[in-house]
Chains A and B, each alone.
Chain A
Amino acid sequence: MMEAKLLLPDVEEENGAPFWAGAARDELLVQACGACGNWRFPPRPMCPHCRSVETKWERASGNAKVWGFVVPHPPLLPAYAELAPYNVIVVELDEDPTIRMVGNLLASPDGALNEIDPSTIEIGEPVRVVFQKVDDVTLPRWVRA
C-alpha cells in the first residue's frame, strides 16, 4: 500500500528472521533467552546475562510507551523527503521498559508517518502496536492506545 523505495529490512537475516515472520502474522515477538528467560532486543545469538545460545520467541502484548521522538526534515532520501516532516518514535514495552523499538506514531493502523501533529506527541504516552505491509515486509508501527 505504501511509499516506494523506503528502506526495508532483510527479513531473512538470520537473527531477526523470526521477528519479521511474527510481524507478518501481526504478532510482536521478542527474543527471549532459552536458559534464563531474559528478553533481548535487537535479536542476537548470545544472551548477555547467562551466555546461553538457546533462544525462544515470546509474544509481547504490543502495549508500550513513547520513550522519545524526533521529527526529521530534509535533506532526506527521496521516499522519506516526500513524507517530511514525519515522526519517528522510540517506544519502551510495558512488559520490560528496557526493551525499546524504533517505530512511527500513526493516526490510524493504515495511516502515514506524517499524519500526527508532532507537537502533540508526549514522552510517556501509551501506544499499541499495529502492523503495516510495505512491499513484502511487515513493519510494526504504533497508534495511540
Chain B
Amino acid sequence: MAKAFLQDKVAIAGIGQTSFGKGIEDSELSLGCQAISMALDECGIAPSEVDGTASFTMELNREVDIARNVGFGDVTFFSQVGYGGGAGCGTILHAAMAVATGQCRVAVAWRARKRAAKASRPWSQVPARLDDHWMWSRPFGLLRPVDEVAMLTRRYMHEYGATRDHLANVAIAFRKHANRNPNATMREKTLSREQYMEARWISEPLCLFDNCLETDGALAAVLVPAERAKDLPTKPVYVHSAAQGIPPQHQTMINYFNEDPLLGPSWAAAGQLWGGSEFKPDDVKVAQIYDAFSPLVPLSLEGYGFCGRGEGAEFTNDGALEWPNGRLPTNTAGGGMSEAYVHGFNLVLEGVRQMRGTSTSQVENADSCLVTSGEGVPTSALLLRN
C-alpha cells in the first residue's frame, strides 16, 4: 500500500509552555508569545525563520500580533481551525500540511488562553436574542457545554448501561497522572471514588469531577521538515497521521438532530487517521484523549476503534487508562481534567513528551501516541511516532 502523503514527512521539533494557573497576570498575548518563544529556543530555531502559523479561530491573539512580538520573518502560511476544543490537533495537521507541501518551512502552532476572561466563556454572555443554532437549545436552559454533553451522556448511559462508576474511572485515572506531574494544576490533590460519588452536581448526570479545569496558560509547538528535525538538538517526533472529522448531519455541541447522535466526530476522523497510518489501534500503547468532560473519553475510545461501539465505558474498567499497567494509559500528564484545560493543546505536548520519553508517567516502549481533540464538536486527531 502506498504511504500516505503526510506520513512522517514533518516533525514536531520544539515545544514550549507557560505555567498553568488561574488569574495569571500576564496578558493572553504575552503568554502566547512566551510559549512560542520557549518552543523555538528549545529546538534552536530563530524566530525570523518562522514562516507559517496555525491556531484556533477562538484564539484571541492574531498572527500579526504574535509575529510583531516574537519577531517572525515573512509569514507565507497562516491558518485557523474552528470549533473550539475540536481544533487542537487540527492546528498541527494544518501546520504539517503546510510544511510538507512547501508552503512554509518552519510553522508554529499554539493556543493561549485566559479562561477566567469572560470572553473565553461564550455561554456566560446574554445576547439580546439568539439567532443562530443555539436558539433551539439555550432558551430551554441547556446553557453550557456541560449541559449539552450531559444530554448525550444520559442517552449513552441509557443505551449501553454506562454508569457513574465508569466516568469515575476516567476522572481518577487522570488525577493519578496529574499527581505525578509537577506542572499539573492538581498535582497535590488526590481524588478518591468516594469524593467523586459525593461531589456536587453540575448537570446531572455529570458532577464536578466530570468537568475539566479552568486554566490560564499557553502552549506552542514548532514543526519543521523531517530531514531538518534530525539536525536539531531535540528528539524529533513525527506527525505520522492526522485527520479532521465532521460526521453527516452533525451539529456542534447540540448533536441531537440526526439519526444517531452518539456516532460522533471521532468516527468521522478515525477512517482518515488510521487509513494514513502504519499503526492500528491495537499497536497504540498510550493516548491523549480530549477530556473537557469525562464521557468524551469512552465515546472517543469507541470512535477511534479501541473497542466496539457501546464498549467504551467498560473499557475504562480495571485501571485500563492508568499508568503504568493499564491497557492504554491515557492523559498521562493529567489531561484537561487534572493538568490544565488549554483547549486540549496540552494533550498535544504530552503526546510529544511520550514520544520523546520524557513524560512524568512514561509508557515504556511506546512507539506511537494517539492525540485527539474535542468529541461532540467538529474534531481532529493525530498519531505521533518517534
Residues of A bordering B, CB below 8 Å:
5-11, 13, 16, 41-42, 48, 67-73, 76-77, 80, 83, 85-86, 88, 90, 98-104, 113, 118, 123, 134, 137, 139, 141
Contacts and interface: CB of A to CB of B under 8 A. Distances in A.
B124 A123 contact: no
16 contacts: A7-B126, A7-B134, A7-B139, A13-B131, A70-B154, A71-B201, A72-B203, A72-B204, A77-B126, A80-B143, A83-B141, A85-B204, A90-B256, A102-B142, A123-B154, A139-B140
B136 interface: yes
B281 to A, nearest CB: 29
Contacts of B140: 88, 102-104, 113, 139, 141
Query: Which 8 A/B pairs are nearest by Cβ-Cβ distance?
Result: A9-B135, A71-B204, A10-B129, A10-B131, A70-B150, A68-B155, A13-B131, A102-B137
Interface in B125-184: 126-127, 129-131, 133-144, 147, 150-152, 154-155, 158
B194 interface: no
Contact of B142 (A8, A9, A16, A88): A88
A86 B127 CA distance: 22
B259 interface: yes
Given A42-B251, A102-B136, 14 more contacts: A6-B141, A7-B134, A8-B129, A9-B131, A10-B130, A67-B256, A73-B200, A73-B201, A76-B144, A77-B124, A77-B143, A85-B204, A104-B140, A137-B139
Contacts of B254: 102
Contacts of A48: 249
B129 to A, nearest CB: 4
A68 B151 contact: yes
B155 A123 contact: yes
Given A71-B204, A72-B147, A101 B155 contact: no
B205 interface: yes
A98 B137 contact: no
A70 B147 contact: yes
Contacts, number: 116
Interface string B39-57: 0000000000000000000
B202 interface: yes
B76 to A, nearest CB: 36
Nearest to B259: A98
Contact of B154 (A69, A134, A141): A69
Contacts of B129: 8-11
A118 B204 contact: yes
A100 B257 contact: yes
A115 to B, nearest CB: 14
Contacts of A76: 141, 143-144
Most buried by B among A68, A77, A85, A137: A68
B192 interface: no
A88 B200 CA distance: 18
Most buried by A among B138, B155, B200, B205: B138
Contact of A70 (B138, B200, B204): B204
B258 interface: yes
A42 B254 CA distance: 11
Contact of A72 (B130, B141, B152): B141
A90 B141 contact: no
Contacts of A8: 129-130, 139
A99 B201 CA distance: 29
Nearest to B159: A123
A71 B203 contact: yes
A85 B151 CA distance: 15
A73 B143 CA distance: 11
Contact of A80 (B141, B150, B201): B141
B94 to A, nearest CB: 27
Contacts of A139: 139-140
Contacts of A41: 136, 257
Nearest to B155: A68
Contacts of A113: 140-141
B136 A70 contact: no
Nearest to B201: A73
B256 A102 contact: yes
Contacts of B138: 7
